[in-house]
Structure 1
Amino acid sequence: MNVDAITTVNAAMWDYGLVYFLLGASIWFTLRSRFIQFRLLPLATRLLLHSRATDQDQNKGISTFQALCTSLASHVGTSNLAGVAIAISLGGPGAIFWMWVMALLGMATAFVENTMAQIYKTKNEDGSFRGGPAYYIEKALGQRWLGIIFSLCLISAFGFSFNAVQANSVAAAMKEAFSVPHEIIAIGLVALSALIIYRGIHGIASFAEKFVPFMAVAYISIALIITLIHIEQLPAIITLIFRSAFGLDHAVAGGTGYLISQAIAHGIRRGLFSNEAGMGSGPNLHAIATPYPDHPVTQGLVSMFSVFFDTIVICSCTAAIILLSGVPYGLEGETGIVLTQNAMDTTMGSFGKPFIALTTLLFGFTSIVANTYYGESSLRFIHNKDQWVTVYRFFVLMMVYWGAVGSLPLVWALADVTMGFMTLVNLTAILILSKQAFLLLEDFESQYKAGKNPVFDRKNFPALHETMDKNVWRRKRESVSPS
């Protein structure tokens, strides 16, 4: 299979189609929701902060906070360290601006897809839930065949290819910092991953709840220290990002349009890789949460926070580390994880490369764990048998090992294709279904403004009531208690 041919297909798919489809859909969701990501982000944060204490029945799902952390475990991965470096190398500093734009708009997209995932989730025999785009494609659109194709793409991209890529980045970073052989890192990653993923979603959620906040705070703290040390450069860096985003640093008009297009394309593309809003991966986790208040919109609102935190906070930290360091990028310098390590080494001395290596290990490992569940949920949609899941987990571990010791241009190229198809299918589905998401939002806001804890009554939404599973979202009480 020709890698160059697949790369050409990817370029055509993303640069001339999906980038603008994704941007247009996100703008529509933003306008239709009356800028929900700005109006209700403070409420989403309050809901998140209270979600752990109010988790009503851990046996029937995971808490809103655990779902968010597990989702962030996948989002906050090597893409935040290597992906940002690649975006800057290929699109210039202006790519960061377009990553910000995509994140702010993508928060509305995340709200829609995760709200619909809550509506169309399925109850397992043990009382827990599973769900995601494949489930609302089948139930709401009546297209099971398309849900199966979506699931196969997700399994290929997240369960196998992305896990191999994550392992490869971890091994490369550890080799650069500590000269540890790739084979040793591969064995360690396989062993650690097996300990978590064979415990199922509760084990994954429990792990993510403990480690994701820790690793995020540590990375942000280091980035803030670097920013404070170079605080006098910050205004110039911000100006550089904005000028580069609109080609204002280039006098030759003939090349300006191309440079702007590259900044937009790489910024939006890497922004999607990072926060996954619209791709259809996050809903697999947000569907299994037991939200409080008892309303699908609760989880949709909280999911916006993960997009904001992943790109606006974490990716901005990486951009600050690279741009403040002054290390060369693009044709003159390195790219990917090595660029980030060199930038940290320049600003923090000998501490830099080991810190990035350990951060990459934590970020990459948590992504492997969360990505594995994405694939597992999709596999259960196709055929809900524990034996299949056991075999799938075994192959995931083999891909982790192979990824850590091998070179992955073909795997990465194929992952881009499958991820592109996932995004195309999911965006089309949620555009069709978004009307229901916005009706649910109106219901939630009207109850909240009346001083009540919003509760979802499926009978008030006939179109949803007929297509949802009969044993989910059943009201447990007739009255709504005041908040």
Structure 2
Amino acid sequence: MVNDVVSAVNNVLWGDGQVLIVMLIVCGVWFTVRLRGVQLRHFGHMFTLLRGSKTATREGISSFQALCTSLSARVGTGNLAGVAVAISLGGSGAIFWMWMIALLGMATGFAESVLGQLYKVRDENGEFRGGPAYYIKQGLNKTWLAILFSLCLFLGYGFVFSAVQANTITDALNNAYQIPDAWSGVGIIVLAALIVVGGLRGIARFAEYVVPFMGIGYVLVALGITFMNYAAVPALLWDIISHAFGLQEAGAGALGAAIKNGIQRGLYSNEAGSGSVPHAAASAAPNPNHPVSQGYVQMLGVFLDTMILCTSTAFIILLAGGSSSDQMQGIQLTQSAMSQHLGTGGTDFVAAAICLFAFTSVVANYAYGESNLHMFRLDNRPGRAAYTIGYLAMIFWGAQAALPDVWAMADMALGLMTVINIVAIIWLTPTIVSLSKDYFTKHDNGERPEYKTGDCTIQGKSEDGIW
């Protein structure tokens, strides 16, 4: 019965109804137009803000830590297993549509992160917390919708998504070293518990050191493989473009599969529009102290995740001859491709990469769920203990569950969150545009953009004393 419900909801969101695909495209185009192509016009400014981004305060983590925390959640199964799934189901053309949803998603990610910063609150320890539930409640005064989003987030990021990451880790370890799933599950639980006990700051410190190391290492390996196969790159790029528009397909079915799987796995990887990243954005003490500065930082996260890391995996698979004819699922296809390039060491490398990528997601997902405890007045010792126990139990379940069942539940949770969040951020467009114009104007005039309450007309009301 549960499987039937999950299947029916996913069919509306992702399948025949294609509600989410339409919503994501419309939302991305909407904010690209309303913000005048901010992801292209101010592309360089994203990198400029990384200077001075390591300053933290007693109330908030640094902007760099917030970026690494959001990348911890983004960079996981979507970058290795998810890209492989997209290629195996949608062919090489799925990669082009993954790029397109990322380009549009940069504007969406900018918008939701600006709101996360503006409407953030202080928890019982005086630290910043925020996210869609908070800007829905304070900006739109829709408490019931805020609670509904929080419940979907607890289901998704608090529980199911960590099960997905654990499932991929155990699959990779079993495929490479025949390690029993139960043993891997216990190992993940022990390591995750040691990190999450330190709360958001402990998770941010972990992400700050691990994410740059694993990301740069993976990209360097992908670049090395690309250079070794440089003669095949032009044909590879043409293959991606031609399959993306059905130029080599017998019918429209394959084209539809490329679009659907590219967008679906692109969203699952970069999370733009899903409402997850605003939790990391809200936790930061921005530099300069303006909500829009975190919009730029988190927009950079979408670019790094999909345009850099997902593309790296796609090139590794496609340069090894991977296509829609492959029958392997998820991470096994990536491991097989890497083995063709690097020999027996390829399987070991992918197993290590997926363990790092997925484990950082497991840890960051905990932080997103914890951020919503404040909504239910559960940001206390008993509340955190109950949440932590449920979170760890789901990791153990996911480590041994069937892959299709886990992915289906993850897609449903992500889809429901995304619908609510997109409705909210489009509703809050006047506030996003007002804040952005304030930042753009100050920046263009050579001023340091700083925001104080009353500088802009906003919907609803931000918490007293924050700005």
Instruction: Name the CA distance, whole Å, in 2 between partners of 1:219 and 1:463.
Output: 42
What is the deviation of 1:405? 2.5
- Please give the root-mean-square deviation of Cα atoms over the aligned residues, in Å: 1.4
CA contact (8 A) 1:123 1:130 kept: yes
Instruction: Name the CA distance, whole Å, in 2 between partners of 1:58 and 1:5.
Output: 45
CA contact (8 A) 2:398 2:406 kept: no
> Which residue number in structure 1 is paired with residue 208 of structure 2?
209
Q: Structure 1 stretches of 5 or more lacking a match? A: 474-483
Instruction: State the AA in 1 paired with 2:338.
Output: M
> Which residue number in structure 2 is paired with residue 427 of structure 1?
422
Structure 1 segment 249-398 matched on structure 2, within 5 A: 249-250=248-249, 252=250, 255=251, 257-327=252-322, 329-386=323-380, 387-398=382-393
CA contact (8 A) 1:114 1:287 kept: yes
> Which residue number in structure 2 is paired with residue 193 of structure 1?
192
**Structure 1 stretch 375-384 or stretch 4-13: which is displaced more?**
4-13
The C-alpha deviation readout for 1:417-445, integer Å capped at 9, x for no partner, is: 22211101100000011221111111111
Instruction: State the AA in 2 paired with 1:469.
Output: E
Equivalenced residue count is 464
Aligned to 1:60, what secondary structure does the other structure show?
coil
Instruction: State the AA in 2 paired with 1:209.
Output: E
Instruction: State the AA in 2 paired with 1:287.
Output: A
> Which residue number in structure 2 is paired with residue 7 of structure 1?
7
Instruction: Name the CA distance, whole Å, in 2 between partners of 1:345 and 1:411.
Output: 27
Instruction: State the AA in 2 paired with 1:139.
Output: Q
CA contact (8 A) 1:41 1:304 kept: no
What is the deviation of 1:379? 2.4
What is the deviation of 1:145? 1.1
> Which residue number in structure 2 is paired with residue 467 of structure 1?
461
Instruction: Name the CA distance, whole Å, in 2 between partners of 1:313 and 1:209.
Output: 19
CA contact (8 A) 2:133 2:150 kept: yes
> Which residue number in structure 2 is paired with residue 239 of structure 1?
238
Q: TM-score, normalised by structure 2?
A: 0.97
What is the deviation of 1:2? 4.8
Instruction: Name the CA distance, whole Å, in 2 between partners of 1:232 and 1:11.
Output: 41
Instruction: Name the CA distance, whole Å, in 1 between partners of 2:347 and 2:198.
Output: 33
CA contact (8 A) 2:123 2:374 kept: no
Q: Structure 2 stretches of 5 or more lacking a match? A: none
Sort the Cα spacing of 1:236 and 1:462 in 2 relative to 1 into closer, same or farther, 3 A.
closer
Structure 1 segment 90-239 matched on structure 2, within 5 A: 90-239=89-238
Instruction: State the AA in 1 paired with 2:159.
Output: F
Instruction: State the AA in 2 paired with 1:22.
Output: L
Instruction: Name the CA distance, whole Å, in 2 between partners of 1:445 and 1:187.
Output: 50
Aligned to 1:460, what secondary structure does the other structure show?
coil
Sort the Cα spacing of 1:409 and 1:3 in 2 relative to 1 into closer, same or farther, 3 A.
farther
Instruction: Name the CA distance, whole Å, in 2 between partners of 1:444 and 1:451.
Output: 11
What is the deviation of 1:384? 3.1
The C-alpha deviation readout for 1:190-225, integer Å capped at 9, x for no partner, is: 111001001001100000000000000111011011
Structure 1 segment 75-86 matched on structure 2, within 5 A: 75-86=74-85
Instruction: State the AA in 2 paired with 1:11.
Output: N
Q: TM-score, normalised by structure 1?
A: 0.94
What is the deviation of 1:322? 0.3
Structure 1 segment 399-478 matched on structure 2, within 5 A: 399-464=394-459, 467-473=461-467
CA contact (8 A) 1:72 1:310 kept: yes
